[in-house]
Structure 1
Amino acid sequence: MTKEMDYFKSFCKVSKAFGTTIKKTDLLNLIVNSAIESMAGKAACLFLADEHEDYFVPTAQSGLSHNYLHANPLKARKIVSALEKEGHLYFADATSDPRLEHHEAKKAEGIASILTVPVRVKDRIIGVLSLYTASQRQFISDEIEFLQALADQGGIAIENNRLRRRMQKNAMLFLELASDINSSLDIKLILSNLTSNICKTLGMKAAHIRLLDEETGLLKLVASYGLSDEFLEMGATTTTETAQRALKGETIVISDSTTDERIKFKELMKSEGVVSMIVTPILARDQVIGVMRLYSEVEREFPSDFMVMVESLAHQGGLAIQNASMYLKLQEDKKSLEEDIWSHRSWF
């Protein structure tokens, strides 16, 4: 059987798995095993970047010992930089190549050559797929392209899994918010639950909600999660660019709050451990009544569906405030009416 047929069969197997399984782990394990079988390798491992640390974490592997995988973590930033420049990394002799560390560990593991390609999601490198051989060998362009194609399949599997989990979490978040609105008129409690739930569900470090005080012109804190008192004290002003734009109905995304020129309190952001930020208005009856801010402890991108979710939740918070306000107004009107009727009972 030709190599082309091996590659074709591997892709058929992976494609069929995409249609029949929903488990990300099953798909990723199939990908690393397909790499080993089709390319006659000793082992293969798919690593994913840890968002909080500069490491690649082994996510699916075959043929490598636990001690080898976890004794010497791969530094992500250095590898990503090299892959963006070269497209792939090839180490003919992994036990002596100066670009690699821990030569003795590789020798003890029986590793000779290594071929590494990036795992991408929307042109962003989120991990690597590495093939290990037991004897030194060269890789032709077809082999490199095949391994890259498998890595791309891994990226698709990871992204599909993330989207599916995000849809499930989003649905639960809306259900919890709707339940809170239906079961309570305590606005502070509803918004407090919203800030904590949105952080836990969407993977954010912190959040806070401020409502506009029309008398003072300040943004008064009504709910927060994950932030220090010192940090919260500086948020009442409406003179910052992000606050002014949000109060005009615009949603702002800050990729790095410690360097962005629109941010006044860079040092405070840095000491608080927040990097990326979303600022979105809270509306009631098409009028901006407040601002919700979300913070991430790492620099990250926010896809369009994520932003729609955030803006929708802010809008739901505005509806909750509006509903509670209308209910309280009705209660006041009812009380006034009862008192008025009682004062005129002597007419009857």
Structure 2
Amino acid sequence: MTAQPPDVETVTALVADAAAAPSLHNAQPWAFRYLRDTGVLRLYADPARALPRTDPGHRGLHMGCGAALLNLRVSAAAAGLAPLMRLLPESAYPELLAEVHLCGGGPPDGALARLGQAIRRRHSSRLPFRDEAVPAAVRERLSEAAGAEGAQLLFPGAWHVRSILDLVRDAEAREAVDPEVRRETARWTRTGPSDTTRAADGISGEAFGPRQRGTSTPVRDFAAGRPMPGRGRAPFEKSPNVALLGTARDGPVDWLCAGQALERVLLRATTDGLVASVTSQPLEWPELRWAVRDPVSAMAHVQMVIRLGYGPEGPASPRRPVTDLLDVR
């Protein structure tokens, strides 16, 4: 163990990078507490930022917090630290998701450190991508990134991609007739641009992207039937590059690992010049989720549907200030 815990300024920078992670509806459901005497940084779930109708089991909440945890580890490695991590360290306090001992010994993880430059460049893009395949070598690196976090990344064939698109449309139809889901979506998504809403969370209008001309890609339409003046339609890629991220088991620890794997894949994709968007729409309905998995694969539980490709980067999402996230003791 190193002798001196990191100072508050360093930890503040680490938390700022952690908070750049993606989360369901950009709710940013995380909180941090730094115990400066011991150099321990704790990650907590923020139940006030849960989505009870869309994510009643908190699977998405855990994945978002897992993505923030991966960013924290990347940022720490880039700063020359070698943190030690424990997931769900106290069973009596399930809201305590992880303890990160920033004074861990040994050299920093070089593979993680090399992803540091991608943290601030990674943005979800719901814009049309080019109809261009992702090379096999790039797909292999993305699969390795998921595997490094104990998850699996698969690229389904064309017939399975079509079935996933059908399931996305099915999920959209279910949402359209569920007023509680529509209200929850409206709470966290705003049809105006960020410079008019001045929100620190949620999804602003410019991040929705255009409406699809036809339905060819798994991109969630956050407008959900609400009018958006000036928002047009556009053709999207006819043969989208879709990947499924999954795990062998399906509990809170697995969701945290899946969130870390998701963010590691997204940072690796950003480093390789790809853009991405994710959707969990068909995974939010238990009767649809089982059908998303590839029946000929060994993936037991799909945790996220990822769309990858080459095209324009999406806009940056609003972020809460670190002063709202970090408690120093």
Alignment TM-score, normalising by the size of structure 1: 0.24
- Tell me the TM-score normalised to structure 2 length: 0.25
Higher Rg = 1
Richer in helix (by share):
1
